[in-house]
Structure 1
Amino acid sequence: MTTERPSRQSSPGPLRRILSSAFAIFETRLELLGIELQEEKERLIGVVFLGLAAMMLTMMALITLTVLIAIFFWDTYRWQSLAGITAVYALTAIACGMRARAVLRDAPNMFDETLAEFRKDRDTFR
């Protein structure tokens, strides 16, 4: 007599299906995280490059403007014109620094979409 056992590999059990689904969801979320990181990196590199170019060109323009104003007032109000230009530059730099700090402080979380998907997944399994 031979006893035949039914093959268990034909249909996976419920625990195996749940674990497989959980790993598939986790893999999808990791892919989403990678895509978001890549997009953020590309955006950041572009912004840094444009920002540096803008700063360089602005500095060249400000140096030229300072020289022009100093030459124009050289005979009458030499040091007053240079002091005024310095004060304007300093106040502008302070305003820019305060604005940059506010932007950094109020920046949204970088991975909002990924975290939202993880929360949906967690709520689904409850």
Structure 2
Amino acid sequence: MTTERSPQQSSPGPLRRILISAFAIFETRLELIGIELQEEKERLIGVLFLGLAAMMLTMMALISLTVLIAIFFWNTYRWQALGGITLLYALIALGCGLRARSNLRDAPNMFDDTLTEFRKDRDTFRSNN
């Protein structure tokens, strides 16, 4: 006679359940990081495309404006007109550069949502202990 043992189905211990829960939470947070990275990538690509298109069209408009002003002042103040336009372009470029630097410096953290969730998890684990 053979005796077959049925596998005992014991519930996992408390430490194992905690580890399983911690890994599940960690996996969820990693998925959130991936989603945030994907959203940020798509947003940046869209912004870059629109920014490049705007720069190209703005350059074409500025070249046309420069030519029109040069033609208008050709017989009287051509050098002064071209110098004034150059100074104006340089001042606008400086303003844009300073604004871009300010925007980069004051940009929010890219993973704010994920960090908030990690803090909530940490507070939950602290309050359970």
Shorter-chain TM-score bucket reads over 0.9
Q: CA RMSD in A?
A: 1.7
Aligned position for 2:100 = 100
CA offset digits 1:37-95 (Å, max 9, x no partner): 00000000000000000000000000000000000000000100000000100000000
Show the 5 A alignment for 1:46-57. 46-57=46-57
Alpha-carbon distance between aligned partners in 2 of 1:109 and 1:102, rounded to the nearest angstrom = 15
Note the residue ranges of structure 2 that are not aligned, 5 or more in a row.
none
Alpha-carbon distance between aligned partners in 1 of 2:15 and 2:98, rounded to the nearest angstrom = 55
Show the 5 A alignment for 1:33-48. 33-48=33-48
Q: Which has the higher contact order (CA 8 A, sep 6+)?
A: 1
CA shift, 1:123, in A, is: 1.0
CA offset digits 1:15-57 (Å, max 9, x no partner): 1110000000000000000000000000000000000000000
CA shift, 1:10, in A, is: 2.4
Aligned position for 1:74 = 74
Which amino acid in structure 2 is aligned with residue 52 of structure 1?
L
The count of aligned residue pairs is: 123
- Give runs of ≥4 in structure 1 deviating > 3 Å: none
Note the residue ranges of structure 1 that are not aligned, 5 or more in a row.
none
